Amino acid sequence: METAWDAQLRTAGLRVTRPRMSVMDVLATHPHVDAETIVTVARAAHPSISPQAVYGVLKALVGGGLARRIEPAGGPARYELRVGDNHHHLVCRECGVVVDVDCVVGAAPCLAPSDTAGFVVDEAEVVFWGLCAGCHAVRR
């Protein structure tokens, strides 16, 4: 599976490079990481990779539809390889951990606003805010 990255990259019209493989490896093993963490983890396999290279790779992956970018309020952007199913996220207000939630309804946009005010809507982004099990236990 891990060696299928090159096929995915080529399908998206992107060249196969070592930084891209490394970043995809990190995303596969660490879903919902931020760019800085990707740099740190990716350096285990590719010590010379630069932060800017990671930003560039992430932009290419998102542009090519291989990764998805989420930006929970009050924190850096996070990335995941799970794309195309319009799933949603649970975010902990305390520790910031992000967990996937399957979409309650069908395909994207899974919800329709009551009044679109003339907008042409293509995506409904849903974020559930709360406390994860661990942080909730500590609070008490």
Partner DNA sequence: GGCCTTCTCTTGACTTGCTCAAGAAAAGGA
Partner DNA sequence: TCCTTTTCTTGAGCAAGTCAAGAGAAGGCC
Q: Does position 1 bind a copy of itself by CB under 8 A?
A: no
CB closer to a copy of itself out of 2 and 115: 115
Give the shortest CB-78-to-DNA separation in angstroms: 8
Count the residues in the chain. Answer: 140
Nearest by Cα to 110 from 127, 87, 79: 87
Token pair of 40, please? 């740190």
Q: Does position 36 bind a copy of itself by CB under 8 A?
A: no
Per CB under 7 A, the segment of 48-56, 85-93, 107-115, 131-139 that binds DNA is 48-56
Give Cα separations from 102 to 79, 80, 107, 110, 127 (angstroms).
17, 14, 11, 11, 12
Q: Does position 66 bind DNA by CB under 7 A?
A: no
Q: Which amino acid is located at 61 in the chain? A: L
Query: CB count, 10 Å around CB of 83?
Result: 14
DSSP SS3 for 101? strand
Q: Which does 81 bind (CB under 5 to 8 A by kind): DNA, a copy of itself, none?
A: none
Residues from 70 through 109 that contact DNA (CB under 7 A): 71, 75-77
Residue with tokens 């070592």: 18
Which parts of this chain interact with a copy of itself (CB under 8 A)? 69-71, 73-74, 77, 88, 90, 92, 99, 101-102, 104, 109, 111-133, 136
Residues that bind DNA (CB under 7 A): 6, 10, 14-20, 34-36, 48-53, 55-57, 59-60, 71, 75-77
